[in-house]
Structure 1
Amino acid sequence: MRRTPRRRSPPKRRPGGGRRPSANAAGRVPSAPRRRLAADHGSRRVLLIGDAAHVCSPVGGQGLNLGLRDAVSLAAALPRAADAGGLAAWRRARRADALGVLARTDLATRAWTLRSAPARAVRDTALRGVLTTPAGRRLLAESVAGPRRKPRDGDRRTLG
């Protein structure tokens, strides 16, 4: 009896045309942290906010939070836009915030996707240690949530 050669199926394609990476032994598809930051937050007539200005790993929904902070801060900066450098200060502040979020989400993604068993053991031991104290839990929550916005005069406080 003669064996027929086994046909290979064509590689799976992503909607963008790239090849899909193969799954590892655990069945997970490895991926590098997604991280992009626009060179500038816009020009004289166009301003970039949200995902148009920055893309980060989806850890903790920080990309959405960052986009919302962009919109809120732009709304506050627009009345002062006619002043010399009014939007330049906004651009600098948004870039600094975006860089901080990108660094935190990149670190978190790398920590949660460790492949080395010893490295995962160190991560898990450190995390257990942090979570045993109220101060550690608060510090971890604050680092994941991002920077706190300083209340301004006239801000209304809502109880929810």
Structure 2
Amino acid sequence: MEKEHKPRKVFVEGPISPDFIAKSIASHQSKTNIGAHAIFLGQIRADEKEGGVVSGIEYTAYEEMANDVFYEIREAAFSKFELTCLHIYHSLGLVPTGEISLFIFVSSPHRRAAFEASEFIVEEIKNNAPIFGKELVGEGGDFQWKENR
């Protein structure tokens, strides 16, 4: 019998805290059918840009459309890999350098599926989710559109 997966809340305001990440991990200790977790954390870098150093990224999104895309990514991951749990969280608003803006937490009975699913999910988000970042650059605080690499 296949599980029905409902759309979940993906966006959080501001940085994703280490406390939130730790609580997410701790909440899975009772799930004894899990043999592996893969965690991806996207952190804001202090890149050197023309005009100064990046001090943060301000994220915006077409939220309704993005939630649909995240749901499709989630469903594709569950159909492609043997997963037990999958959680995706992405920041909106300003996230300072050194802070976490993307948290992907994948659980599976076996490690290979968790690793492969994590990479698949990150690539799908980067390629398909309508999320936009403006980098805060230099002392004057000028915003520049972020380019994904």
TM-score (norm 1): 0.27
Bigger relative contact order, structure 1 or 2 (CA pairs below 8 A, ≥6 apart): 2
Higher strand proportion: 2
Higher helix proportion: 1
